[in-house]
Structure 1
Amino acid sequence: MLFACGVGISILRPEPELVATRQIDLTVVEEKPDGTCRVQWSDPYAQRVREEPHRCDPTRSDRLKAPNYSGSHGYGWESGFMYTEGPDQGDLEDLDAGVKFENDGDPGGTVLALGILAIAVGLVGGNLRALPRTLGVEARLVRRAAALAEAAGWTARDHARAMEAARGAGRQAEFGAVPDPELVRALWVLREAGPESRRTAQAAQELSDRLAVLLEEAAPAAGLRNRLRSGPAARAAAETAVAELRRLLAEAERDGLQERFAQTSVDLLRGQDPERAALASEADFDRDPEVYRRLFEELTPREPAALPEPRR
């Protein structure tokens, strides 16, 4: 608002009235090192030679100063501006007074400077106030945790799908001397994945559930926009969740969980090609059918026999 008001005042402020002047030669009668001097000039309007104090340029060449200036009978030389119109006609223009009036008499410039100062203070203060909110952004860490959670979820779902396929085939057919090929193929998938796949799938399910909770709490740390929109309580909870995610990721990297999850999913998806899985499972069953029988019994345990009803 100050900036806009300063601009408006500067635009609406009337321009100072300009008075015509003419540059003339001045004879320097007396001069001090700081530029204070007395000069003479010919006033054509008053038809006489006038002498008054003046402000000379102390940095002009020494050749223009007394007594080095030739043809001046020991006086120096300077130039100035004389008014040719108005009530001050014939007087010298006081440049120092004009500059002072211009600087001190412009309220628009003062308001404009205050507006610029307020804008600078607001920008610096606002950025400093927002700095603590932006320091907690851990977008890369959250993305890594989300990728690990996705891999763990896929492994758990692939194992559950393979187990359900084997149990479903077992409910449809008994494991006789010549079992159903669909049942053998489902059991072959679990046999190829190995007993380690069950433990890996269980660890994947537990890790996926834990990461889902932490990722929800760490949402304010997923990006700058989420961080700025969150309140103090959510940011505090996000910092705790990020610390726990960092610990879990370090443990997962140390134990190679990402690679184990990926390999287990690949092993459990071998049954996606029915023709190849049928041939491989049939050949493997012929080599060792007892292994398939034990695996079938583990997946479909027999129900305990019913107790006889007590006599009345």
Structure 2
Amino acid sequence: MNELRNDWSREEIAEIYNSPVLDLMYRAATVHRQYHESGEVQVCTLLSVKTGGCPEDCAYCPQAARYHTDVKVHKLLPTEEVIQKALEARESGSTRFCMGAAWREVRDNRDFDRVLDMVRGVSSLGMEVCCTLGMLTDEQAKKLKDAGLYAYNHNLDTSEEHYEEIISTRTYDDRLDTLENVRNAEISVCSGGIIGMGEGHSDRIGMLHTLATLPEHPESVPVNALVPVEGTPLEKQPRVSVWEMVRMIATARIIMPKAMVRLSAGRVRMNLEEQALCFMAGANSIFAGDKLLTTPNPEVVQDKEMFQVLNLKPRKAFKDGPAVKFEQIPQQ
């Protein structure tokens, strides 16, 4: 059985990543079946609860205030509206609901108090509730945990070496510190990255190496293909091929076998066959809904058709996680 390890070397990961693609997929599929049910895919929904106006300069992001994009800035959504969106997501088959706010970091103010209320509300629906709010202190992570937060997303984005080409407004260590604060609060860690931002294969290997050598592997690893947005510095980047996604997903599956590997942004540009290759390579989660924060995503109807054609079955919430207390699920 493929063992759980946190002592992978870059050379070992490079050897896996660069192996013949069909051999790589076979090995990843074998590991996947050791730790997960074949054909089981978790459906997640991602909602932007506060959009645009971010002071950071992430080169891929249309929500940065300094770039001229079509993103409309809106303040934090009303709590009731967010809970309603979560209910609709649950009705359409999602078991994980993630709320994103375009902040550099969480501040201890009324907006954070409202996010804590949103977390309590979504948790009461029996869904895995996740947030991505920027940098977090130890104390803020504990408050989110106490409110019922199940997971926190904070992507590394790319390798430490390539990072300064993409972002200058916070450091790689800032990101790692937030992941440590999330882990210390006993919140499930969600962290991955984006490919197609001008990085080399060594950068992709480097990012995977950082994730796989954390004291504990992230429970969730999103693999995103850049969706170039007009007005951002990366607007002219060429599309990532499905084989590049397959290499990332398969390598992540082999070196972090228990993680949920999430086929995330970029899926809108993939046909059904390309997505099937990603599932074969070890992806076992998708994001549903017509948008991922501000970028387009396949519609729910298309995804339901894909589940039928590929005989995929939806994964339940909290399947392998710790017992989570939540209130009685409201009757519809």
Q: If the TM-score is normalised by the length of the shorter chain, which range does it land in?
A: under 0.3
Structure showing greater radius of gyration is 1
Higher strand share: 2
TM-score of the pair, normalised by structure 1: 0.19
